[in-house]
Amino acid sequence: MAISSVGIVGSGIMGSGIAEVAAANGHQVVLRSRSQATADAMVVGLEKSLARQVDKGKRSEVERDEILGRVSATTDLQALADADLVIESVVEDLAIKKHLFTELDRICKEGTILATNTSTLPVVELAMETGRPDRVCGIHFFNPAPLMSLVEVVRPITASEETLAAAIAFAEACGKEPVTVKDQAGFIVNALLFPYLNNAVRLLEQGVASMEGIDTAMKGGCGFPMGPFALLDLVGLDTSLAILDALYTEFKEPNYAAVPLLRRMVAAETLGRKSGQGFYDYRK
Ligand SMILES: NC(=O)c1ccc[n+]([C@@H]2O[C@H](COP(=O)([O-])OP(=O)(O)OC[C@H]3O[C@@H](n4cnc5c(N)ncnc54)[C@H](O)[C@@H]3O)[C@@H](O)[C@H]2O)c1
């Protein structure tokens, strides 16, 4: 099950990042976006990212051109039919992902492994939408995908050893450090991280300190590279809320119950860096 071609569905923060990682490590990549405008924007974003790396002396111009030559963007899901591996990275919504897995199962060749980049949702439910549950798993990258070394390889009870081995080998071929984890909401990182992020919003709501104060405290006091509010803005508040809701649905633990301020900010479409305004303002 050697993986040389990769299909990616979704051109948001993570889909774009995973496309860059896969292409930079020698894979042919077809990225599918819902509109031609966002597909084109992904390619422009990749060009800019690679140009920055050339400017910093991290890559040669030849490498940049080779990487770009391995990536194509399309609106046609059918273009992913012959991929060895498809990773979906669309919005964190179980119904939307289930529908997508049904479509991918219909379109993709028999041997294609179908993977999800979900942060929390039950992978087994996506596997059971297909006629190949043994060839479905989670391949969970971290944000920003080109920089973060961890990949959680998520094993639903339906997956075969071969599928897991292929997913691990793919993560390693991308220069990442895979850790295998059971298909349980939040896997490792988000199960531990999100109670902390949620409680930071609770402290803010309680007026214990300002958000700048809380961010400064967690950087200076714990040595974290960024504070909780900067991190929530990077992840996206809608994605963060979806993660907390999935964790709460699974475990019913109070620490996973999203605090009202977070839910209100998502309702107001204050989503973080991607919308220009989150806890911090990125429009200036
Ligand atoms: N943001 C993070 O830090 C992070 C980290 C790891 C994993 N993830 C996971 O990656 C996935 C994508 O998250 P993101 O941060 O890239 O989100 P994003 O908001 O940047 O992008 C979401 C993508 O989903 C697409 N989309 C929205 N509705 C859709 C629909 N109905 N059908 C098909 N596509 C649709 C959007 O067009 C966009 O391309 C989610 O499952 C999320 O949990 C996110």
pLDDT, one tens digit per residue, over 84-110 is 999 999 999 999 999 999 999 999 999
**Residue 1 pLDDT > 90, yes or no?**
no
pLDDT for the residue numbered 238: 98
| Interaxial angle between packed helices 61-69 and 13-24, expressed in degrees from 0 to 180 and rounded to the nearest 10 | 110
Q: At 281, is the secondary structure helix, strand, or coil? A: strand
- 169 CA → ligand 1 middle, Å: 24
Best of 8, 9, 13, 244 for a ligand 1 pocket test (most atoms within 8 Å of beta carbon):
13
pLDDT for the residue numbered 167: 98
Angstrom CA distances, 262 to 42, 166, 200, stand at 28, 38, 11
Cβ burial, residue 79 (10 Å; 0-12/13-18/19+): middle
pLDDT for the residue numbered 50: 95
Closest C-alpha residue for ligand 1 atom 3: 235
For residues 251-256, average pLDDT: 96
- Torsional sign, CA 161, 166, 172, 176: negative
Instruction: Pull the structure tokens for residue 278.
Output: 């989150």
- 88 CA → ligand 1 middle, Å: 9
pLDDT for the residue numbered 260: 97
Instruction: Pull the structure tokens for residue 25.
Output: 């490590």
**192 Cβ inside 6 Å of ligand 1:** no
Neighbour tally for 124: CB within 10 Å: 17
**275 Cβ inside 6 Å of ligand 1:** no
**185 Cβ inside 6 Å of ligand 1:** no
pLDDT, one tens digit per residue, over 122-178 is 999 999 999 999 999 999 999 999 999 999 999 999 999 999 999 999 999 999 999
pLDDT, one tens digit per residue, over 10-64 is 999 999 999 999 999 999 999 999 999 999 999 999 999 999 999 999 999 999 9
Dihedral angle at the C-alpha atoms of 246, 129, 151, 280, nearest 10 degrees? -40
pTM score, whole prediction:
0.96
- 93 CA → ligand 1 middle, Å: 9
pLDDT for the residue numbered 284: 81
Q: Which residues are catalytic?
A: 119, 140, 152, 190
pLDDT for the residue numbered 44: 95
**277 Cβ inside 6 Å of ligand 1:** no
Closest C-alpha residue for ligand 1 atom 30: 96
Instruction: Pull the structure tokens for residue 215.
Output: 């961010």
Instruction: Pull the structure tokens for residue 98.
Output: 């289930």
- 5 CA → ligand 1 middle, Å: 21
- 280 CA → ligand 1 middle, Å: 21
**39 Cβ inside 6 Å of ligand 1:** no
**53 Cβ inside 6 Å of ligand 1:** no
pLDDT, one tens digit per residue, over 190-249 is 999 999 999 999 999 999 999 999 999 999 999 999 999 999 999 999 999 999 999 999
